[in-house]
Structure 1
């Protein structure tokens, strides 16, 4: 029987960094039932410049404490897709690519944004990101701590 390479184990909630966005120590819920990963934002707008579509949004610099100190980010839209929310509502999501840090390692992640102010966690990591990178132990939390 072949030996499988060991994948890092993540818990049901992890603390992640999004360095290209200037966001650190973000609580992210791991959701294997969700296909896409999503980040909370207050407002967003889609605009076109030089034939390319961009998304601009306001992010709370410290969403875990809800201090209300916002930063504005702008990213090129990688793609758009219709996503069904956990409530069964279909909505168009604008996806961009950025970096996420777990286990002191940077990974590419495709993120969409939406208002998650009524949710327990400002970020959700879906199975498109988790797949082939991590195993999930739902009985644990905070296994992927970054040290620096």
Structure 2
């Protein structure tokens, strides 16, 4: 008979709105507005100035992310392994 594993449920769940401010420290982004979709299987990030390149036989993308409030916009340039295009 196969044992059934119990799901661990935190004692108190975090309360989230449909929009939240998040940080992406690996990309150098301090604060960016994000839409929360608890049913989503993937996520996306709006980027500009996208350049695809190869490093060690793998495809990467270099891109720019704009963040901050209007009147105080900031830019971060980041690199990440290429996951796909949509």
Give the TM-score taking structure 1 as reference length: 0.43
Secondary structure in structure 1 of the residue aligned to 2:63: strand
Give the TM-score taking structure 2 as reference length: 0.67
The runs of 5 or more residues in structure 2 that have no matched partner are 1-7
The runs of 5 or more residues in structure 1 that have no matched partner are 81-91, 94-148
Kindly report which structure 2 residues correspond to 1:27-106, keeping only aligned pairs within 5 A, or say none: 27-32=33-38, 34-60=40-66, 62-65=67-70, 69-77=74-82, 79-80=83-84, 92-93=85-86
Secondary structure in structure 1 of the residue aligned to 2:26: helix
For the structure 1 residues 32 and 8, does the alpha-carbon distance in structure 2 shift closer, same or farther, using more than 3 Å as the test? closer
Asked if the contact 2:29/2:76 (under 8 Å) is kept, the reply is no
Asked if the contact 1:27/1:64 (under 8 Å) is kept, the reply is no
For the structure 1 residues 53 and 39, does the alpha-carbon distance in structure 2 shift closer, same or farther, using more than 3 Å as the test? same
For the structure 1 residues 36 and 63, does the alpha-carbon distance in structure 2 shift closer, same or farther, using more than 3 Å as the test? farther
**RCO higher in structure (CA 8 A, sep ≥6):** 1
Q: Stretches of 4+ moved more than 4 A in 1?
A: 66-69
CA RMSD of aligned residues (A): 2.5
Paired residues, number: 78
Secondary structure in structure 2 of the residue aligned to 1:43: strand
